[in-house]
Amino acid sequence: MPPSYPADAPASEALFARAKAVVPGGVNSPVRAFRSVGGTPRFITSARGAYLIDADGREYVDLIGSWGPMILGHTHPEVLAAVTDAASRGFSYGTPSENEVALAEEIVARVEPVEHVRLVSSGTEATMSALRLARGLTGRSRVVKFAGCYHGHVDALLAAAGSGVATFGLPDSAGVPSSAAAETIVLPYNDIAALKAVFAADGEHIAAVITEAAPGNMGVVPPAPGFTEALRRVTRDHGALLISDEVMTGFRCSRSGWYGLEGPYAAGAPDLFTFGKVMGGGFPAAAFGGPAALMAALAPDGPVYQAGTLSGNPVATAAGLATLQRCTPEVYAHLDAVAHTVADAAAAALSAAGVPHTVQWAGSMFSIFFCEGLVRDYDDAKRTSAPAYAAFFHAMLAQGVHLPPSAYEVWFVSAAHDAAAVDRILAALPAAASAASDAFATIAP
């Protein structure tokens, strides 16, 4: 039987109150505040394998995985040993070191179109730098992105769609200048006709199209068959670059990320890729890369400036390298098996409770939308019932399973999710489905 935890969490509540006195909103990344689901965020004090322990001493099966990086589970012994060894020899040098070379070699070996990579410290930094490189290479300023795709908090990419099918962006956050957002064209995802139309009208000014390889930031919404090929053909025909954001999917969907599942493409590979999460093993590390001829435009060899004090940090690169080296075919097979067991059981429980839902996939990444029908773009994703998900979330939390605290996120499993962890998840699902059903009954017209 799963545990039965009370709704209140006194130690977490006390920590949250302390945090709100010194940190905006009490958190250092907005989704952690539980605003989407309500209640008090659980402050975690430790993690091991497939489990989180909160400040109240409660144990949860973790289906967040630090939003993707913990593909092997928490504090994997061999990753921990690599980190400890690296830290014992120094935390940061401000000089080149072998670890960063070895991690770059591992990435290049896994993703065939990538010949050179530049290491950075966050996914946001990777996408920002890839955009600067694309603009430097093309001499153009405008960028196309898709509604619902998130590429970090870069000013130019925090743009929301305007009132047309293809519109110049409007600032999606206070503090983003209209001038920055105005260089971004926002299109509906999976809409090839809109893509062709905007290039026909404005192609000579467009430096790049940036897309999540398989979006996970509006829930999992994979590219429709032929969509990625169309992105490649249209950008190539108009002299623009294609940037594939694999910060989330990279080395998570497969050994070579989403490219390893969907590629190689008949029309050719994307020009640039961005990576993060798994490649850092839980530490702040990310990268962007592509053909050597394009990457040569970066300083010190070329005119496009990019730098970072902690880029290639020896401890972070040790964690990332140790993680990638242990992402074997057996690990990916385990992730797929566990993810399908959990998702199938969740779908069965929701069906039994009469809850509308749709499960969508990108490798072992999956999302459950609380609505009927295929989700192909952001407008479709917004049909999901946030109140039903919140009820489902809290029912799972009370039974010792920590889901992502937002209806628009990915569920992540790890190599450490064994039979005992899966059994706890499965045991919690019927009550959670019933709670979601009750929520739907309350909001039904």
Instruction: Look at the alpha carbons of 151, 155, 157, 161 in this order and tell me if their dihedral is positive or negative.
Output: positive
Residue in 245, 271, 377, 380 annotated catalytic: 245
Please report how many Cα atoms fall inside a 13 Å half-sphere around the Cα of residue 9, on the Cβ side: 25
CA nearest neighbour of 34 among 414, 415, 390: 390
Please report how many Cα atoms fall inside a 13 Å half-sphere around the Cα of residue 436, on the Cβ side: 31
CA nearest neighbour of 185 among 204, 216, 160: 160
Written as six digits, the tokens of 49 are 């394998």
Surface-to-core class of residue 111, CB atoms within 10 Å of its CB (0-12 exposed, 13-18 middle, 19+ buried) = buried
Element (H or E) spanning 401, and its range? strand 401-402
What backbone phi and psi angles, to 5 degrees, belong to 212?
-65, 130
Beta partners for residue 119, in sequence order: 287
Residue 277 is a catalytic residue: yes
Written as six digits, the tokens of 14 are 């006390």
Residue in 62, 145, 259, 277 annotated catalytic: 277
Q: What is 158-171 written as a DSSP string?
A: -EE--SSSSEE-EE
Surface-to-core class of residue 348, CB atoms within 10 Å of its CB (0-12 exposed, 13-18 middle, 19+ buried) = middle
Contact 379, 189 (CB under 8 A): no
Residue 245 is a catalytic residue: yes
CB-based burial, 42-62: b 16+ in 10 Å, e otherwise = bbbeebebbbbbbbbebbbbb
DSSP H helices in 89-122: 98-110
Distance, in Å, from the CA atom of 33 to the CA atom of 38, rounded to the nearest integer, reads 8
CA triple 129-365-370, angle to 5 deg: 110
Helix (H, G, I), strand (E, B) or coil at 233: helix
DSSP 213: S
DSSP 333: H
Residue in 51, 60, 150, 408 annotated catalytic: 150
Contact 288, 130 (CB under 8 A): yes
Contact 267, 232 (CB under 8 A): yes
CA nearest neighbour of 245 among 145, 100, 118, 135: 145
- Catalytic site positions: 150, 245, 277
